[in-house]
Chain A
């Protein structure tokens, strides 16, 4: 019993020591979204990863990455004041009721993926057609606007939607421009083409728990500094180098 008590005391001391160090912020994200966040050589990399590391360095906190499904990110943020969501998340008015967002840090635009022989070139071609997108992304909202809720099919991941486009269940898939470019390049399917129909995306923001306004302020200040330093352009060159437009 005495040994057990001693162990308990030791454990508590270790824990309190750990807590006394620099503030650690958990980053909830879904690393299946290149070039924003993905896994390479068993490391988390991507635009968002670099961004949040730079923010952490400026604001003086440590980050710990936790990979999860895209739809689990919001739970993690709502449940833990020291967890933030950085996963290519669109800022919408309705979402702001339940979580706070940082200032938008990128708006990369949307592209449409269609079959080579479909001949779809402008948005009007897509009216009433079956459009696929990843659930809860800005592409999903956009598809609903174009073709209506009943014709919008939402998937857990973008690749599932592409699978159904290949199988002929969908007429088009909408996706963030850099993400679509990166994933399609990896897929190597010549029957699919990318069409830029000039679709506007929502801004991406960092999701912060409502009970942690101090953290939100730190992040926003860091974002402002990084923007002034030209860090966004650096990231754009690093991750979207194949597309000059995104560097703007």
Chain B
């Protein structure tokens, strides 16, 4: 018998006899039932692991897709019209304008509808009869959602880079896309980093919505334990602390990255 059980047995007897518990005993009761009994702590860790996996890949996918959407929404693209005679280039400019229109519609729809509905539609509708892991569905749902927000953040970053930077890049012989990729985007991301950090934190917390599609992430792990112990809120506090630790670590890491990037300014 472990030491935890030895502490628990007298408390269990007191509850059975309807004796009042002291505050310390009540706290121990909650911790024992929601954390120690049946090795429940491991379920929070499993949930945390799922949350971390989903968040990591969703942030990755969301940032990549978001950057593409951001570029498509730039005035250079939305207002670009090839006026020459070459038919291929004419077609190219039409395609580009279509993509830019699509990006705008996409951002409007994703930002304008609740993420919970998006997740449910993707899970029960689009992937209704497709057998892929729920984690992948989660990554797709969260990534697609985050992309819309990231796109606007990065677009703001790009617009904050002085026009002279583009002119300098072009006059140094970079192509249009090359100037964007090597000169403008790095600076844009740097100035957008604090807002991006905000979005990443929001994304990590929003993965809790995935509990609606029966994915056992951190919130669901708390729900699960709560359905067994009938504690009113202790499992949520434990899950909440794990979210807090995760976001604090992320904030710290991005803060470090920010300082690193600023070093290049000197």
Confirm or deny: A95 has a beta carbon within 8 angstroms of a beta carbon on chain B.
Answer: yes
Chain B residues within an 8 Å CB radius of A167? 124, 128-129
Inside 8 A of A132's CB, which chain B residues have their CB?
A: 214
Contact A164:B232 (CB < 8 A) given known A71-B223, A97-B33: no
Question: Known contacts A94-B230, A135-B227; is A155 also within 8 Å of B214 by CB?
Answer: yes
**Does B101 sit at the interface, judged by CB under 8 A?**
no
Alpha-carbon separation in the docked complex, A132 to B223 (Å): 16
CB contact list, B1-20 vs A, under 8 A? 12, 15, 18
B182 at the A interface (CB under 8 A) = no
Contact B131 A168 (CB under 8 A): yes
Contact A156-B212, Cβ < 8 Å, known A135-B224, A167-B124, A167-B129:
yes
- Interface presence of B252 (CB below 8 A): no
B214 touches which of A95, A98, A164, A168 (Cβ 8 Å): A164
Asked whether, in the complex, the Cβ of B232 is within 8 Å of the Cβ of A78, the reply is yes
A78–B236 alpha-carbon span in the complex (Å): 15
In the complex, the answer to whether B12 meets A97 with C-beta atoms within 8 Å is yes
B226 contacts chain A at the CB level, 8 A cutoff: yes
Residue B205 CB within 8 A of the other chain: no
Bound together, the chains give a CA A161 to CA B231 distance in angstroms of 25
Residue of B nearest to A137 (CB): B227
Q: Is the CB of B232 within 8 A of A71?
A: no
Chain A residues within CB distance 8 Å of chain B: 71, 74-75, 78-79, 92, 94-95, 97-99, 132, 135-136, 140, 153-156, 160-161, 163-164, 167-169, 213
A-B contact pairs, 17 of them (CB 8 A): A74-B226, A94-B33, A94-B228, A94-B229, A94-B230, A97-B15, A97-B229, A98-B229, A135-B224, A135-B227, A136-B226, A154-B227, A155-B214, A156-B212, A163-B124, A164-B214, A167-B129
Q: Which residues of B are found within 8 Å of A160, using beta-carbon distances?
A: 214
Q: Chain B 89-127, CB within 8 Å of chain A: the 1/0 string?
A: 000000000000000000000000000000000001000
When chains A and B are docked, how far (Å) is the Cα of A98 from the Cα of B124?
Answer: 36
Q: Please, which residues of chain A bring their CB within 8 A of the CB of B223?
A: 71, 135
Taken together as a complex, chains A and B put the C-alpha atoms of A92 and B230 apart, in Å, by 10
Interface check B233, CB cutoff 8 A: yes
* A156, B223: Cα distance in complex, Å: 10
Nearest CB on B from A179, distance (A): 17
Closest B residue, CB atoms, query A140: B227
Q: Which residues of B contact A (CB under 8 A)?
A: 12, 15, 18, 29, 33, 124, 128-129, 131, 212, 214, 220, 223-224, 226-233
Main secondary structure of the interface of B (DSSP, over half): helix
Distance A155 CA – B227 CA, assembled complex (angstroms): 12
Question: CB-CB < 8 A to A164: which residues of B?
Answer: 214
Residues of A within 8 A of B124 (CB): 163, 167
Contact pick for A98, options B18, B129, B131, B230, CB 8 Å: B230
Task: Find the residue from B33, B212, B231 having the highest chain A CB count within 10 A.
Answer: B231
Give the Cβ gap from A197 to chain B, nearest Cβ, in Å: 23
Bound CA–CA A153/B214 (angstroms): 6
> Which of A136, A163, A213 is the one whose CB lies under 8 Å from B227?
A136
Q: Which of A74, A154, A156, A169 contacts B224, CB < 8 Å?
A: A154
Quick one: closest A residue to B15, CB to CB?
Answer: A97
Please, which residues of chain B bring their CB within 8 A of the CB of A154?
214, 220, 224, 227
Would B232 and A74 count as touching, CB distance under 8 A? yes
CA distance A155 to B134 in the complex (A): 13
CB closest chain-B residue, reference A164: B214
Which 10 interchain pairs have the tightest Cβ spacing? A136-B227, A78-B232, A95-B230, A98-B230, A153-B214, A75-B232, A167-B128, A74-B230, A167-B129, A155-B214
Residue among A75, A97, A167 facing the most chain B CB atoms (10 A cut-off): A97
Cα distance A164–B176 in the bound complex, in angstroms: 48
Least distance between B9 CB and chain A CB atoms (Å)? 13
- The answer to whether residues A168 and B129 also contact, given A79-B232, A97-B15, A154-B214 and a CB cut-off of 8 A, is yes
Closest to B215 in A: A153
B12, B18, B124, B232, most chain A CB atoms within 10 A: B232
